[in-house]
Amino acid sequence: MRLRALLIVPLVVLNFLSPSAYVLAQTPSLFDPPVVLPAGTSPTGIQLGDLNRDQHLDLVVSNRGSGAGEGAVSIFLSNGDGSFEARRDYRSDGQADGGSPAIVDFTGDGHSDVLVANGLSNSVSILQALRTGRVGRRIDLDAGELAYEVAAADLNMDGLTDFGVTNYRSNSVSIFISEGHGRFASRVDYPGHNGSGAIGFVDLNLDGILDLVVGNLNNDSGIHASTVSVRLGAPGGIFGPAMEFQVGRYAGVVLVGDFDENGNPDLASVNGESRTVSVLIGDGAGGFATSVDYATGDLPLGGAVGDLNGDGHVDLVVTNHQEGTISVLHGRGDGTFADRQDHFAGGQLHDPTGIAAGDLNGDDRVDLVIANSSSNTVAILLNRGAGAANVSAAQSRTLHESSARLLVERNPIRGGQGTDFRYRVPDGGAGVSIEIFSVTGRKILDLSRGYQAGGLRAVHWDGLARGGRPLPAGVYFVRAVIGKFISIDRVVLID
């Protein structure tokens, strides 16, 4: 989960919803005027991540309308100043017509790969990234019928990245456990509830094991509402029975954050048909209070979390497809949100779909990128800075928001002396695991594992193995997984 904000973009546009008469509020915009980039055909899913390890957030877009001779996935490499190089298009196994891509390292080479769902092909594709951020070979895997949305994480705690995919037509979730080097065990399918759509992994009950969250697109009979399904995780990457939590209609997006700032993960579902966001406050044990709904614009299809006004509280932002706008709901830090403020999305009516948030130009403010599916564009909205995020200028050079890059304080080190690893957890919180490996790939030690609230964090390694046992001098690797992002750094241990 984007802990990840879960983003899902539906395959069926609900044309029966009438356009809203809501007028944009005449308030000062949080953002500079949109910068619009040409994209592929009908871009829908969108994600940010560092593909070439230059510590800038690159842009990956899945194009629902891709066909013969067209790229299903577009990659825009960042220039670090909020601008991007011209896109490069790549094929997947058919159309990348599911939700947002996932950007993670599946092969263990230290470079982030791209995972997309191919609905019409009933498959997923892994596009392996090279050192330059370009794509090398592609791996295709069979999924269920109408593969819809993907999410990746280390589900069985073996240091390898696993993933899951929802299958809308077969109403199921497929789990793929990694065997390393881009290979996966046969998938394990779990039954869905009612139109499986959004997917993510987060430690909801704070036991150090990731749980499964799924947003359901169809309405339950008799209550005219959708649900969010939760399956608590167990060791080995398996999940227990589903629990259902009622939200608005057509729960196409599920977002994660600590909205009331008590250390427990909370959820928010973006509901396209009911034009609302439903906020579910977590109890830290895997359960949630009754949802509270907040109005959005017409047909919200995408969502993201981040501290947009720099006040230290997590905000929500959604795309309003029918109106060509985005709605920002500022968090108060107590689990409640202010009424929406709408902003132009850089396209036209019936346009904005997917959205992602991150610092694109290194100014420590949360910017936005939006996929506009009708005008075939991507809009960049740079944050003007209603307030500054709590990151120093020196830290921002190495710790970009939403990048999982570690800062190694001391290197080389001596056993017993050790070093601190500093990192940033994105606004809204994320699942974090930090592990030490030998050069042969043997896990030496777990330094940190579990859900962490957003902000700067640090963990200390004393240069020793479990139980304080000494280690031989040599090269070791620290592997950090923060939400969807993975970073691998080398540490030299000397006598």
Secondary structure of residue 418 in the 3-state scheme = coil
| DSSP result, 202-263 | E-SSSSSS-EEEEEE-SPBTTTTB-EEEEEEEETTTEEEEEEEEE-SSSEEEEEEE-TTSSS
Residue 13 pLDDT? 27
Q: How many CB atoms sit inside 10 A of residue 94's CB?
A: 18
Select the more confidently predicted residue: 339 or 29. Answer: 339
Can you list the positions of beta strands (E) in 275-399? 276-280, 292-295, 300-306, 315-320, 325-329, 341-344, 352-358, 367-372, 377-381
Per-residue pLDDT, 211: 95
How far is 195 from 57, CA to CA, in rounded Å? 32
- For the segment 36-73, what is each residue's pLDDT rounded down to a tens digit? 999 999 999 999 988 888 889 999 999 887 654 356 89
Q: Which residues, in sequence order, are bridge partners of residue 291?
A: none
CB 317 within 8 A of CB 358: no
Tell me the pLDDT band of 401, cut-offs 50, 70 and 90: very low
CA 247 centroid distance within chain: 21
Is residue 197 packed enough to be buried (19+ CB in 10 Å), middle (13-18) or exposed (0-12)? buried
CA nearest neighbour of 259 among 302, 224, 294, 298? 294
User: Residue 415 CB: number of other CB atoms within 10 A?
Assistant: 18
Distance CA 373, CA 356 (A): 15
Which of these ranges, 67-76, 165-174, 412-421, 435-444, has the smallest mean pLDDT? 67-76
Three-class SS state of 405 = coil
pTM recorded for the entire structure: 0.77
Pairing of strands 292-295, 300-306: unpaired
Mean pLDDT value of segment 20-42? 72
The more confidently predicted of residues 355 and 54 is 355
- Per DSSP bridges, beta strands 300-306 and 315-320 are antiparallel
Name the residue among 389, 403, 317, 306 with its Cα closest to residue 355. 317
Instruction: Please compute the mean of the pLDDT values over residues 77-84 and round it to a whole number.
Output: 95
Q: How far apart are CA 410 and CA 367, in angstroms?
A: 32
- Report pLDDT digits (tens) over 234-256: 999 999 999 999 999 999 899 99
pLDDT band at residue 24 under the 50/70/90 scheme: very low
For the cut 80, the answer to whether the pLDDT of residue 406 exceeds it is: no
Q: Which residues pair with 88 in a beta bridge?
A: 75
